[in-house]
Amino acid sequence: DAKTTQPPSMDCAEGRAANLPCNHSTISGNEYVYWYRQIHSQGPQYIIHGLKNNETNEMASLIITEDRKSSTLILPHATLRDTAVYYCIVRVGNQGGKLIFGQGTELSVKP
């Protein structure tokens, strides 16, 4: 079973920041937080991951709370092409590697 809780859907205006929350209250100390997204009719795409510290790359920023029980994915300037299902996944970094997907958040970016 997925170890994360996400809202089923969110809307965002084009050009504004999209903030996608994720709860992972049972996360263990050696588990990373990963974010993937899946655009319609495509395979999932890696966005970003982190353990304790906040992370930023060319696609997004990941903010992890100090107690690591929740996180937020931030798309700083959402475009129509960011419309997708976003999955928050907790994953043990040094074992196996499989991803356990939940239902995700369906983000709709509107003009």
Partner 1 sequence: EAGVAQSPRYKIIEKRQSVAFWCNPISGHATLYWYQQILGQGPKLLIQFQNNGVVDDSQLPKDRFSAERLKGVDSTLKIQPAKLEDSAVYLCASSYGPGEYEQYFGPGTRLTVT
Binding site for partner 1 (CB under 8 A): 2, 32, 41-46, 49, 87, 92-104
- How many angstroms separate the Cα of 57 from the Cα of each of 29, 47, 75? 23, 8, 10
Nearest distance from residue 14's CB to partner 1, in Å? 26
Could you please report the per-residue DSSP string of 25-47?
A: TT--TTEEEEEEEE-TTS--EEE
Nearest distance from residue 43's CB to partner 1, in Å? 3
Nearest distance from residue 104's CB to partner 1, in Å? 6
Longest dimension (CA), the chain: 42
